[in-house]
Amino acid sequence: MYKLEPANIIYNTAKDEGMPDLLAQMIVGQSMHESNNYKHKFAKLYNSPFGYMYDKRSRWQKEGGSKADNGALIASYASFADATREITDWIKRRQRKGQFPKDLNEIKVPMDYSKLLQDCGYYQGWGKYTKQQNREFYALGISKGML
């Protein structure tokens, strides 16, 4: 389906974890956006394509990696599949809290997903831009990584 092997792993894992096809594609786009098409050192060194910070409570993370520019430890994973399980578990927790739709098929375009992510605190964006501009930028990044 995807040309890059990590994208195939992420897509297939998202589908296996119950994400609908379109959302699985958006999760791939999100991972490509966050990791600069898997070229970022955190993706290479720590199998961390989503920009997650280390959390000792996570069942998917190993010990933290090096520090990010904000001083926090980067999440480290055994595989891209485990990193994907982290994000799908995050989505499922937000569903239970009523912050994501019960039917994930309602997420139809990258802007829908971008808004949900931002509203739930997944990303804030750059302070020099408005909330809407940051959503548009993130949605564009997601769309570039989709089929």
pLDDT digits (tens, 9 = 90+) for 63-112: 888 888 888 899 999 999 999 999 999 999 999 999 999 999 999 999 99
Q: What is the pLDDT of residue 67?
A: 87
- 35 located within any domain: yes
Spatial separation of the C-alpha atoms in residues 107 and 119, rounded to whole Å: 14
Residue 115 has pLDDT above 60, yes or no: yes
* Domain contains 51: no
The verdict on residue 47 lying in a domain is: no
Q: How many domains does the chain have?
A: 1
- 36-45: list long-range contacts, CB under 8 Å, 24+ apart: 37/4, 37/145, 38/4, 38/6, 38/7, 42/66, 42/68, 42/74, 43/6, 45/76
> Which two structure tokens, joined as six digits, stand for 80?
């891209």
In a domain, 126, yes or no: yes
Q: What DSSP character marks residue 105?
A: G
What is the DSSP-derived secondary structure letter of residue 46? H
State which residues form the domain around 124.
Answer: 5-40+79-144
Dihedral-angle region of residue 18 (phi above 0 means left; psi in -120 to 50 means alpha; beta otherwise)? left
Q: Report if residue 74 sits inside a domain.
A: no
CA distance 57 to 66: 18
Tell me whether residue 117 is in a domain.
Answer: yes
Q: Does a structural domain hold residue 71?
A: no
Query: Structure pTM?
Result: 0.94
Inside any domain, residue 11 = yes
> Counting Cβ atoms within 10 Å, is residue 3 exposed (0-12), middle (13-18) or buried (19+)?
exposed
pLDDT at 3 over 70: no
